[in-house]
Amino acid sequence: MAEETTGEVEAEGKPRSGKKKLLLFGGIGLVLLLGVAGGAAWFLGLLGGDASADMAADEAGAHATAGDGHGGDGHGGGGHGDEAPDVVFVDMPDVLVNLQSGGQRIRFLKLRAALEVGSEDVATRVEALMPRIMDSFQLYLRALTVEEVSGSGGLQRLKEELAARVNYAVQPTRVDDVLVKEMLVQ
């Protein structure tokens, strides 16, 4: 009889162990599925409505400021009490240059950019010096290769170099940033 009882315990033990494994893997699968669904919902903006609404409001404010390239209130100040100082964006003319290439194929760079400045007075001074800025951009961009403007690192180096050249061209006035609106390499 002792053998029969031992056989029954083993027989009962295996299905229970299988059920436990099934529940364990089912639970892990459910947690992973919920994690992926939550991540997708957050990425798509379905979760955290306040943050995405704030980002959309900030973007709308930036577009309203950039309107004609001179900035200003646009909408009467917007009602935000703790905003950064006024920012004015000066649109630059489109730049289209040949890039240096070692082969027979001609490579082009098209760049649309805006300059971020701190006030309307600075924007006026920068606009008056735009031919000097464009000359500096043309000289620098024509010396670049496709590899130098590829990837996010290339774009960051390009922005830093253009900002340095702009600030040299408009001395003693200061440009805060060069914003790349569009960059196309063909």
**What is the percent of the chain where pLDDT is above 90?**
37
Q: Is residue 53 part of a domain?
A: no
How many angstroms separate the CA atoms of 108 and 185, rounded?
A: 6
Q: Is residue 165 part of a domain?
A: yes
Asked whether 93 and 134 are in contact (CB, 8 A), the reply is: yes
User: pLDDT by residue (tens digit) across 68-125?
Assistant: 444 444 444 444 555 556 899 999 999 999 888 777 788 889 999 999 999 999 999 9
Average pLDDT, the chain: 77
User: pLDDT by residue (tens digit) across 35-62?
Assistant: 888 777 777 767 654 444 444 444 444 4
Q: Is residue 72 part of a domain?
A: no
Q: Give me the pLDDT at residue 175, please.
A: 93
Q: Are residues 93 and 181 in the same domain?
A: yes
Q: Are residues 104 and 171 in the same domain?
A: yes
Q: Is residue 10 part of a domain?
A: yes
Cα of 97 vs its chain's centroid, Å: 24
Which structural domain, as residue segments, surrounds residue 23?
2-47
Q: Are residues 97 and 165 in the same domain?
A: yes
Q: Are residues 165 and 92 in the same domain?
A: yes
pTM of the model as a whole: 0.53
Q: Are residues 107 and 164 in the same domain?
A: yes
Judge whether residue 144 has pLDDT over 60.
Answer: yes
Q: Are residues 132 and 40 in the same domain?
A: no
**Three-class SS of residue 150?**
coil
What total number of domains does the chain contain? Answer: 2
β-bridge mates for residue 180, sequence order: 113
CATH number, domain with residue 172: 3.30.479.30
Q: Are residues 41 and 119 in the same domain?
A: no
Q: Give me the pLDDT at residue 81, please.
A: 52
